[in-house]
């Protein structure tokens, strides 16, 4: 994802101001390490951004691999120097993009209606839209560690009224729990003092091979039941239309290689003007919240992930443009770093969420406005296994 210099400078100034005014947390970069009760999985987190920094599961040889991208040097999670890729945090108050950084309550098409209009700090595409909640989103704030056990941790965040331009104070909690059989449960809940849009998600970058066998996604396969994806402009702003996947590279209703599908996106430029790859939101067809709706696996490592969630849609980003020669991001040591860097199309972000920018597209008929009488909830279970 590209960020302009002006936005980065402004982000740094706002972050400094926030650090001065906010209560000082106790070591927001200190690792909290969890282990599943049966020892099948391990993970590490930091309070800053409620970020997941490491996730270890066993491969087909019975050896643990850290399959989550991130930084060995935790201070880099607070830095804008690498272009800020959102490695592993919770993103909010509103995940993904908001057209022109504006919306109305009640919602209206492109904030053109008679409702009260709100302007959010814009931080992408030369200041023409808002990405992941503004210049200082939930990913860039120190959360409070509420409770911890050997296999579970809960973080909380109070987002003040008016921060980034959003109305109402929102109090959010996220609980990460490692359960037996390499199962990771994520639970998020939020309450608001006033009517306000809320859409949260986990922004985790995966390489199920931990860069051991290959440096691409050819060996990564995915399958999910979705016949439509959300149409967007060349800057990835939703138009309000749903596009059928039939006959396109966007069709993952049958298992196929992500890496092999990436070149097939070039002509249609689904991920934006001049872009090759995926950075799109699909709508789930038949999600009963009881069985997995998304699956991804590596034929090389043998590691498979099945996701069960109560969310309506899925954003997939195939790490297009993550490799900036002027700002190379070093891999973690157990992923071949720091001499090697994270390269384009070598990883995939999976975000379980609602319809993107539904607050500017009432034709989606999705209510993303929450308040004192309507709390927000997000649930997902990530079950890892080994291919038979």
Instruction: Give the pLDDT score at 61.
Output: 98
Q: Are 256 and 222 in contact (CB under 8 A)?
A: yes
**CA pair distance 44, 57, nearest whole angstrom:** 12
Instruction: Give the pLDDT score at 80.
Output: 72
DSSP characters over 229-294: EEEE-TTS-EEEEEEE-TTSTT--SS-EEHHHHGGGGTTTTTTSTT--S-EEEEEPSS--SSS--E
Task: Give the model's confidence band at 108: pLDDT under 50 very low, under 70 low, under 90 confident, else very high.
Answer: very high
Task: Give the model's confidence band at 242: pLDDT under 50 very low, under 70 low, under 90 confident, else very high.
Answer: very high
**CA pair distance 300, 212, nearest whole angstrom:** 9
Percent of the chain with pLDDT over 90: 90
**What is the average per-residue pLDDT within 18-32?**
66
Instruction: Give the pLDDT score at 11.
Output: 46
Q: Which residues contact 73 (CB under 8 A, 6 or more apart)?
A: none
How does pLDDT run across 47-66, given as a tens digit for each residue?
999 999 999 999 999 999 99
**What is the average per-residue pLDDT within 93-117?**
98
How does pLDDT run across 151-200, given as a tens digit for each residue?
999 999 999 999 999 999 999 999 999 999 999 999 999 999 999 999 99
Cα torsion through 110, 313, 230, 204, rounded to 10: 90
Domain segments of the chain as ranges: 5-386
Q: Three-class SS of residue 192?
A: strand
For the chain, give the mean pLDDT.
Answer: 93
Name the residue among 109, 105, 137, 138 with its Cα closest to residue 119. Answer: 105
Q: Three-class SS of residue 379?
A: strand
Q: Identify whether 203 is a catalytic site residue.
A: yes
Q: How many CB atoms lie within 10 A of CB 212?
A: 16
**CA pair distance 35, 216, nearest whole angstrom:** 29
**CA pair distance 199, 308, nearest whole angstrom:** 18
Instruction: Give the pLDDT score at 84.
Output: 78
Q: How wide is the angle at C-alpha 275 spanned by C-alphas 71 and 351, nearest 5°?
A: 50
In residues, how long is the chain? Answer: 388
Task: Give the model's confidence band at 230: pLDDT under 50 very low, under 70 low, under 90 confident, else very high.
Answer: very high
Q: How many CA atoms lie within 13 A of 301 on its CB side?
A: 32
Residue 308 has pLDDT above 60, yes or no: yes
**What is the average per-residue pLDDT within 265-285?**
97
Given 122, 209, 351, 353, the catalytic residue? 351
Both tokens of 134, joined, read 């503004």
Instruction: Give the pLDDT score at 261.
Output: 98
Residue 125 has pLDDT above 90, yes or no: yes
Instruction: Give the pLDDT score at 312.
Output: 98
Q: Are 378 and 201 in contact (CB under 8 A)?
A: yes
Q: Three-class SS of residue 102?
A: strand
**CA pair distance 210, 301, nearest whole angstrom:** 9
Strands 116-119 and 102-105: antiparallel
**CA pair distance 360, 110, nearest whole angstrom:** 5
**CA pair distance 170, 177, nearest whole angstrom:** 23
Q: Are 303 and 315 in contact (CB under 8 A)?
A: no
**CA pair distance 341, 328, nearest whole angstrom:** 6
Q: Are 139 and 89 in contact (CB under 8 A)?
A: yes
Q: Identify whether 353 is a catalytic site residue.
A: no
Q: How many CB atoms lie within 10 A of CB 248?
A: 15
Q: Are 369 and 288 in contact (CB under 8 A)?
A: no
End-to-end CA distance of the chain: 36
Residue 201 has pLDDT above 50, yes or no: yes
Instruction: Give the pLDDT score at 326.
Output: 87
Given 84, 132, 203, 220, the catalytic residue? 203
Instruction: Give the pLDDT score at 325.
Output: 87
**CA pair distance 221, 256, nearest whole angstrom:** 5
Q: Which residues contact 14 (CB under 8 A, 6 or more apart)?
A: 121, 135, 136
**What is the average per-residue pLDDT within 276-298?**
97
**What is the average per-residue pLDDT within 198-219?**
98
Domain 5-386 has CATH 2.70.98.10: yes
Residue 1 has pLDDT above 90, yes or no: no
Instruction: Give the pLDDT score at 244.
Output: 98
Q: Are 368 and 354 in contact (CB under 8 A)?
A: yes
Q: Are 376 and 370 in contact (CB under 8 A)?
A: yes
């Amino acid at each position: 994802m590209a960020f302009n210099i002006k936005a980065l400078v402004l982000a740094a100034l706002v972050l400094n101001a926030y650090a001065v005014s906010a209560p000082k947390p106790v070591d927001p970069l200190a690792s909290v390490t969890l282990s599943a009760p049966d020892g099948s999985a391990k993970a590490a987190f930091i309070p800053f951004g409620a970020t997941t920094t490491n996730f270890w599961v066993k491969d087909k040889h019975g050896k643990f691999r850290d399959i989550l991208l991130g930084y060995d040097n935790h201070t880099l999670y607070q830095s804008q120097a690498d272009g800020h890729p959102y490695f592993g945090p919770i993103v909010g108050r509103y995940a993904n993009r908001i057209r022109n950084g504006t919306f109305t309550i009640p919602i209206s098409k492109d904030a053109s209606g008679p409702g009260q209009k709100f302007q959010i700090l814009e931080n992408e595409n030369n200041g023409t839209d808002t990405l992941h909640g503004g210049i200082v989103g939930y990913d860039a704030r120190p959360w409070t560690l509420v409770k911890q056990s050997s296999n579970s941790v809960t973080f909380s965040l109070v987002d003040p009224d008016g921060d980034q331009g959003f109305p109402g104070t929102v109090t959010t909690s996220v609980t990460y729990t490692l359960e037996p059989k390499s199962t990771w449960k994520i639970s998020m809940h939020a309450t608001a003092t006033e009517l306000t849009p809320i859409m949260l998600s986990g922004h985790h970058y995966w390489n199920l091979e931990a860069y051991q066998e290959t440096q691409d996604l050819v060996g990564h396969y995915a399958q999910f039941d979705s016949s439509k994806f959300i149409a967007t402009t060349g800057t990835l702003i939703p138009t309000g239309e749903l596009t059928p996947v039939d006959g396109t590279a966007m069709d993952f209703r049958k298992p196929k290689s992500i890496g092999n599908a990436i070149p097939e996106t070039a002509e249609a430029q689904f991920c934006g003007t001049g872009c090759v790859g995926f950075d799109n939101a699909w709508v789930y067809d038949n999600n009963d919240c009881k069985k997995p709706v998304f699956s991804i696996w590596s034929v090389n490592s043998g590691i498979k992930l099945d996701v069960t969630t109560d969310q309506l849609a899925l954003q997939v980003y195939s790490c297009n443009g993550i490799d900036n020669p002027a700002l190379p991001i070093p891999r973690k040591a157990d992923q071949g770093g720091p001499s090697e860097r994270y390269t384009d199309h070598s990883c995939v972000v999976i975000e379980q969420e609602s319809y993107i920018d539904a607050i500017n597209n009432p034709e989606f008929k999705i209510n993303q406005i929450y308040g004192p009488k309507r709390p927000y909830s997000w649930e997902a279970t990530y079950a890892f296994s080994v291919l038979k």
